[in-house]
Amino acid sequence: MDQNIEKFDVVIIGASLSGNYLAFLLSNFNLKIAVIEEHQEIGLPFQCAGIISKKLTQLIDLPKDIILNQVKKAKIFSPSGIYIRLSGEEQPYVIDRVALDKLFYQRVKSNNKIQYYLEEKFISFKYITEKHKKSVLIETNKRKLKSKMLVGCDGPLSSVSKLMGIKNKLIYATQIRIKANFDQNEAVMWFDPKWKELFGWIVPEGNKIYRIGLGSSKNVAKNFQIFLKKLDVVFDDKLDQQGGIIPYGYMNKSAFDNILLLGDAAGQVKATTGGGVVMLLTAAKYAAFCIKNCFKNNRFSKRYIEKLYEEPCKATIGKQLKVHFLIRTFFETFTDADYDMLFQIVKANKIEEIVSLYGDMDFPREMVIKLLKNSMFIKFIIRIWRKNPLILIKILKIFI
């Protein structure tokens, strides 16, 4: 074996939230870990609207200064401008995403078992077998590393998942931060069939600054201009601009011999909102448990990683991600008139109350079950179904 090859127990690709949080969770296990990040500074470029449910503080110990604002209510607009108003217990946080990415890096960077390689790009890997034991030989643009485990935390365009034959469907998003006079306590979503896979958003950051963005699989820049015009916002007044890519679907295959995928790389993102933070933090806990046991029991097979990581993820966040995808699959068939009809039904039949009471940004199953007990809602679903009989096949594909 080449003397210049550096040896680690775990190599993590990507030092954004998934990679840093996993390194933090593994930091007490006495493992030698390398984290490879192609950018120079952790957290940058910043690519997030930063709106995250209150589960965030149940999942991690969050310093107060990372929370910039808390949203008390939400308005959801149909394409023609009919809106429903939601208020309730949800009240998500608006966070400083750069600070959140840096938080776990700062907690582990002085740990002499964890080595960060910044401004370094993962290129490829191959399996090697020595004395009947399989491990992974990893190549970056600067070095070679040998490791028992490789973890792909390298985001929506993950090279690790591509090498495992997985390709995410992608949505493109753009966002500006701007000073304006909207409501500081209110998040806003605009639906439109033109940008059918996601929506336009206004997220109040605090101090009269708003994050206004839009996600769509095509013509994002053009659709964003239409959206800003609708809001009477001038693009050139922006403080700064962000862009980014969001995986679209529900959880991918994420366990392989000596390898696992986490976060956007594994498609652990809600198809309704593009939000991934709560999902990846939940999955990271299973990933850390799995990796710890792989080393304890000297077992690194695909089956073992499936059992300890992929299956628990699928049984928890995976189930919910399927419901998000189901909701989005319905929305994708909507015309302007369908949106208007749905919003009118919601307003006239106390469905706003159901959504306010049972709506959960991350775990929508309970709300969907309640909605399916409402006769007007069922009639609407049957109408959509009749217009698009193929939707049944799409839904069966999600759940079978």
Which residues bind to ligand FAD, rule: CB under 6 A? 13-19, 36-39, 47-52, 121-122, 153-156, 159, 173, 175, 213, 242, 244-246, 263-265, 269, 274-277, 280
Peptide bond into 193 cis (omega under 30): no
Nearer to ligand FAD, 262 or 346 (CB): 262
Nearer to ligand FAD, 31 or 173 (CB): 173
Nearer to ligand FAD, 36 or 228 (CB): 36
Alpha-carbon 129 to chain mean position: 35
Q: Least CB distance from residue 117 to ligand FAD, whole Å?
A: 9
Q: Least CB distance from residue 375 to ligand FAD, whole Å?
A: 34
The C-alpha R_g of the chain, in whole angstroms, comes to 22
CA distance readout (Å), 170 to 38, 173, 230, 355:
21, 10, 25, 28
Q: Least CB distance from residue 30 to ligand FAD, whole Å?
A: 24
Nearer to ligand FAD, 211 or 338 (CB): 211
Nearer to ligand FAD, 291 or 346 (CB): 291
- For residue 326, the surrounding DSSP H or E stretch is helix 319-332
Q: Least CB distance from residue 383 to ligand FAD, whole Å?
A: 32
Q: Least CB distance from residue 278 to ligand FAD, whole Å?
A: 6
Nearer to ligand FAD, 93 or 380 (CB): 93
**For the chain, the helix, strand and coil percentages under 3-state DSSP, each to the nearest 5:** 40, 25, 35
Identify the sign of the CA torsion 389, 392, 394, 397: negative
Torsion of CA 46, 177, 95, 37, to 10 degrees: 0
Nearer to ligand FAD, 245 or 395 (CB): 245
Query: What does residue 341 show for φ and ψ, rounded to 5 degrees?
Result: -60, -45
At 156, list the tokens.
């929506």
Q: Least CB distance from residue 179 to ligand FAD, whole Å?
A: 19
Q: Least CB distance from residue 196 to ligand FAD, whole Å?
A: 17
Bridge-based pairing state of the strands 33-36 and 67-70 = unpaired
Distance CA(237)–CA(138), nearest Å, equals 45
